[in-house]
Amino acid sequence: MPDSKEPQPPRNWPQNHPSGLDDVSRRYRREGDKAADFVVTENFEQFNQIDDVFRRSQWDDSIRTENSEQFYRSHVLPKPRKGDGFTQRDFAFRNASWTLANIFSDRGEEEGRREGFLDPLDPYFPKAEQKIEVEDPTRIAREIKNICKFFGAHIVGITNIDKRWHYQNRYDLKNQGDRPNDLPDGLTNVIVIGHAMDYDLVQTYPSALAGASCGSGYSHEAASVVQISQYIRNLGYEAVSSMNDTALAVPYAIKAGLGEYGRNQLVITPEFGPRVRFSKIFTDLPMALDQPKKFGITEFCNICERCADACPPKAIPRGQPTEFGPNKSSIRGVVKWTADCEKCFGYWARMGSDCAICMRVCPFNKDFSKWYYRLARNLAGTRLRKLILVLDSRLKLNKRVKPSGWWGKQGD
Amino acid sequence: MPDSKEPQPPRNWPQNHPSGLDDVSRRYRREGDKAADFVVTENFEQFNQIDDVFRRSQWDDSIRTENSEQFYRSHVLPKPRKGDGFTQRDFAFRNASWTLANIFSDRGEEEGRREGFLDPLDPYFPKAEQKIEVEDPTRIAREIKNICKFFGAHIVGITNIDKRWHYQNRYDLKNQGDRPNDLPDGLTNVIVIGHAMDYDLVQTYPSALAGASCGSGYSHEAASVVQISQYIRNLGYEAVSSMNDTALAVPYAIKAGLGEYGRNQLVITPEFGPRVRFSKIFTDLPMALDQPKKFGITEFCNICERCADACPPKAIPRGQPTEFGPNKSSIRGVVKWTADCEKCFGYWARMGSDCAICMRVCPFNKDFSKWYYRLARNLAGTRLRKLILVLDSRLKLNKRVKPSGWWGKQGD
Cross-chain CB nearest to A124 (options B91, B99, B146): B99
Smallest CA–CA distance, residue A99 to chain B, in Å, is 6
Give dist(CA A407, CA B231) in Å, integer.
14
CA distance B170 to B246: 7
Question: Do residues B130 and A88 make contact, with C-beta atoms less than 8 angstroms apart?
Answer: yes
Between A376 and B31, name the one with better pLDDT: A376
B69 neighbors B76 (Cβ within 8 angstroms): no
Q: pLDDT of A161-194, one tens digit each?
A: 999 999 999 999 999 999 999 999 999 999 999 9
The answer to whether residue B404 sits within a structural domain is: no
Classify residue B194: in a domain, yes or no.
yes
Instruction: Please answer yes or no on whether A223 and B100 come within 8 Å at the CB atom.
Output: yes
**CA–CA min distance A1, chain B (Å):** 35
Segment A83-90 shows an average pLDDT of 97
A304 assigned to some structural domain: yes
- Contact yes or no for B226 and A125 at CB 8 A: no
Q: Report the interhelical angle of B99-106 vs B211-234 (nearest 10°).
A: 60
Return the H-helix or E-strand segment holding A410. helix A403-411
Nearest to A231 among B76, B93, B223 (CB): B93
Per CB-CB distance under 8 Å, the chain B contacts of A142 are 410-412
Minimum mean pLDDT range among B26-35, B253-262, B336-345: B26-35
Q: Is residue B287 part of a domain?
A: yes
What confidence tier does A150 reach under pLDDT thresholds 50, 70, 90? very high
In tens, the pLDDT along A338-356 reads 999 999 999 999 999 999 9
Q: What is the pLDDT of residue A13?
A: 35
pLDDT category, B18, cuts 50, 70, 90? very low
- Total domains in chain B come to 1
Amino acid A253: pLDDT? 98
Q: Is B139 in contact with A93 (Cβ distance < 8 A)? A: no
Query: pLDDT value at position A412?
Result: 85
Asked whether the predicted pLDDT for residue A401 surpasses 90, the reply is yes
Question: Predicted confidence band at B27 (pLDDT cuts at 50, 70, 90)?
Answer: low
Residue of A80, A1, A14, A55 lying closest to A261 (CA atoms): A1
Contact B76 A125 (CB under 8 A): yes
CA A390/CA A397 separation, integer angstroms:
11
| Interchain proximity A103–B124, CB inside 8 Å | yes
Contact residues on chain A for B96, CB-CB shorter than 8 A: 151, 227-228, 230-231, 234
Nearest neighbour of A143 by CB, restricted to B146, B219, B410: B410
Tens digits of per-residue pLDDT, B238-289?
999 999 999 999 999 999 999 999 999 999 999 999 999 999 999 999 999 9
Chain B positions touching A225 (Cβ under 8 A) are none
With contact defined as beta carbons under 8 Å apart, do A154 and A277 qualify?
no
| Among A310, A308, A305, residue whose Cα is nearest residue A339 | A308
Pinpoint the alpha helices (H) of A193-283.
Answer: 199-202, 211-234, 249-255
The answer to whether residue A340 sits within a structural domain is no
Mean pLDDT throughout B343-348? Answer: 98
Whether residue A40 lies within 8 A of chain B, CB to CB, comes out as no
Q: How confident is the model at residue A20 (pLDDT cuts 50, 70, 90)?
A: very low
B230 → chain A, closest CA residue: A96
Question: Percent of chain A beyond pLDDT 90?
Answer: 91
Whether residue A318 is contained in a domain is answered as no
In a domain, B398, yes or no: no
Band (pLDDT 50/70/90 cuts) for residue B28 is: confident
Q: With CB atoms and an 8 Å threshold, state whether A216 touches B151.
A: yes
Which of the four pLDDT bands, split at 50, 70 and 90, describes residue A27?
A: low
CA distances in angstroms from A382 to A259, A270, A387, B133, listed in the order given: 17, 14, 10, 53
Residues of A in contact with B136 (CB under 8 A): 411
Q: Residue B412's pLDDT is what?
A: 85
Alpha helices in A235-356 (DSSP H): 249-255, 297-303, 306-310, 341-351
Q: Is the pLDDT of residue A68 over 90?
A: yes
How is residue B110 annotated by DSSP?
Answer: G
Partners of B100 on chain A (C-beta within 8 Å) are 223, 226-227
What mean pLDDT comes out for the span A393-398?
Answer: 93
Residue B351 to chain A, least CA–CA distance (Å): 20
Shortest CA gap A97–chain B (Å): 6
| More confident position, B233 or A29 | B233
What interhelical angle do A99-106 and A88-97 show, nearest 10?
50
Q: Which residues contact B372 (CB under 8 A, 6 or more apart)?
A: none
Percent of chain A's residues with pLDDT above 70? 93
What residues does A156 pair with on adjacent strands? A193
Residue B6 has pLDDT above 80, yes or no: no
Q: What is the spatial distance between Cα B60 and Cα B305, in angstroms, rounded to a whole number? A: 31
In a domain, A331, yes or no: no
What confidence tens digit (pLDDT) does each residue in B57-89 have?
999 999 999 999 999 999 999 999 999 999 999
Inter-residue long-range contacts of A179-182, CB under 8 Å, 24+ positions, other chains counted: A179/A112, A181/A49, A181/A246
- A212 vs B contacts (CB less than 8 Å): 150
Q: With bands split at pLDDT 50, 70 and 90, how would you rate the model's confidence at A23? A: very low
The span from the CA of A102 to the CA of B221, in Å, is 17
Query: What is this model's ipTM?
Result: 0.93
Is A15 strand, coil or helix? Answer: coil
| Smallest Cα distance from B200 to chain A, Å | 11
Domain region containing A103:
82-310+356-411
Return the pLDDT at A2.
38
Instruction: Give the pLDDT of residue A29.
Output: 85
pLDDT for A17 equals: 40
A89/B235 Cβ within 8 A: yes
* B-proximal residues of A, 286-345, CB under 8 Å: none
Query: What mean pLDDT is predicted for residues A21-42?
Result: 77
Cβ contacts from A onto B, under 8 A: 119
What residues of chain A, 82 to 121, have a C-beta less than 8 Å from chain B? 88-89, 91-93, 95-97, 99-100, 102-103
**Mean of the per-residue pLDDT values of chain B:** 93
Question: How far does the CA of residue B409 sit from the closest CA of chain A (Å)?
Answer: 8
> Does A169 touch chain B if contact means CB atoms closer than 8 Å?
no
The pLDDT confidence band at residue A3, using thresholds 50, 70 and 90, is very low
For the entire predicted model, the pTM comes to 0.93
Whether B408 shows a pLDDT value over 60: the answer reads yes
Most B CBs within 10 Å, among A105, A122, A231, to test the B interface: A231
Query: B93 and A147: CB-CB below 8 Å?
Result: yes
